[in-house]
Structure 1
Amino acid sequence: MVFSASTKKYVLRHYYRGGLIGKVNSDNFLFQGLKQTRAYQEFELLDKMNSLGLPVPIPYAGKISCSTVFYKADLIIELIEGAQDLVAILTKQAVHESRWREIGRVIRLFHDHNIYHSDMNSHNIMIDTSDKVWLIDFDKCAQRESGPWKEQTLARLLRSFRKEKTINNKLNWDEANWTTLMQGYQEH
C-alpha cells in the first residue's frame, strides 16, 4: 500500500509467509523477542545501509503486533519516486549497456559491504527516472562475513533473468546483458 504525508510518499509493507506454510498460516510468525522479528531486522539493516550511502529505501517505522506466542509485522519505507522494477522496464524496452554495467557496479557495492540479499532477483532491482539503480526487499537479509554467498547471489539473479525470459520471450534481456552486468560488477 502506498500513502503520502506532506510531500513524501511511503510504502506500507505487511510481512507474509511464503511457501507451503504460507498457504496455511499467511502472516503469523513465532515471537522470540523484538530483535528477532523480521520487521525489526529489516529496519535495522536498511538504516545501516542508508548510513553507508547504499541505494536503498529509507525506513521510517515498523509495527509488531503480538498475540500469545505469535506476531504480525509491518514496515513503512519511503517510496522511491518514479522507480520501476527491472522486469517492468525490460517488458517495455531494452536497457542500455551502461545501465547494465551500473547494475553490476551497484550489486558489487553491496557485496563490498558484505550485504547479503537473500532474494536477489530481477524484480528487486529498481531504476528511477534519473536512471539511479536501487535494490529493495531486504527481508531475511543481513550483513555477514565474506564467502561463497556472493557468487550464489549472482547465480540466483542470473536464474531470475532466465526464468523471466521463459515467462515472456519478448523480454528485452539476453545473455549478453548478463555479461555486461558482470563486467560492471568486476570493474568496481
Structure 2
Amino acid sequence: MTHFRQSSRLPWRLATVLFMSWFLAGCGINDIPTYDEQVKAAWGQVENQYQRRADLIPNLVETVRAYAQHERETLTAVIEARAKATSIQVDAGTLDDPQKLQQYQQAQDQLSGALSRLMVVSERYPELKANQNFLALQSQLEGTENRISVARRDFIAAVERYNTEIRTFPGRIWHGLLYRDMPVRESFEATTQGAEQAPQVQFR
C-alpha cells in the first residue's frame, strides 16, 4: 500500500515541477540574461563593422598616396587615427565600463573625421576620382559606414530593452533576487590579426 501511494504521488510531483517551470518562465525569470546576451551580440556586430572599416584603410591610403603624394598631413592623420581606434578594445568583459566605452567611441569618431577629410582631399584629384580601385574602395567604405549606423542602432535598442527590463516589474524583482551583478548598461574585439598596428605607408 505504501509503495502504491508513493507511486501515485510521482505524477503529481512531476506535474508540479512542470507547472512551476512554466510559471517561472512565463514570469520572465530568463528575460534578463536573454537580453544581456542580445546586448553582447549587438555589440559584437558594432565591433565587426568598425573592424571592416579599419581593414579597408591601408589600401585606401595607398591608393590615394599614388595620386596625391603632397597630402602627407591628411594621410598621416588617417593612419594615426586608425592606429588609435584599433588599439582600444571593448569586449564583453569591459562593456560595462562607461569610460572605456566612451574612449572607444571617441577614437572611432576621430577616425570618421579623418576619413571625411581624406574624401574631401580626393576631390582635388580628377585622376584619383576616376581610378577604379579608389571607386571600389570608396563604395565599400560607404557601405560599411551604413552598416556601422545600423549596428549602432541595433545595439542602442538592445541596451534600452535590457535596461527597461531590470528597471520595471517583474524584471526588477528578478534583478534584485538573482541578477544583482548585472548592472544598468551605458548606451553608447578587434577581429583582424595586427589590427592594432598602423599600416606601413612609405612617403616618397
Higher normalized helix content (fraction of residues): 2
User: Bigger radius of gyration, 1 or 2?
Assistant: 2
Q: TM-score, normalising length from structure 1? A: 0.27
Higher strand content, 1 or 2: 1
